[in-house]
Amino acid sequence: MALKCPECGSISHARTSAYEAPSVKRTWYQCRNLECSCTFIALESVERIMMKPQKVTDMENAGEQETTGRQPQTLNRYGSASKLSKRQQAPV
């Protein structure tokens, strides 16, 4: 993540960061403009949660999920849920 420098307006980059609390992060930034080189600290926090994930609260709901036959899926590009599209497959 990058922020604009408060002194000159150039892009700055994060040097390091540390969590102050589970939802608050303190980040040290440095301006990329060599003539400025301003170093500053910013706080990043969670403002609000727009949607929480659904959680199974009792064992009856857990049993219903298993009987539907739906398999857990990986949401990124790794795991058993990812498959190559026709364009990505090797020619036969």
Query: Collapsing DSSP states into helix, strand and coil, what is residue 37?
Result: coil
- The model's pTM: 0.55
- Residue 79 is predicted with a pLDDT of 56
Check residue 63 and give its pLDDT: 58
Low-confidence ranges of the chain (pLDDT < 70): 58-92
Q: How far, in Å, are 19, 30, 45 from residue 52 at the CA level?
A: 22, 34, 17
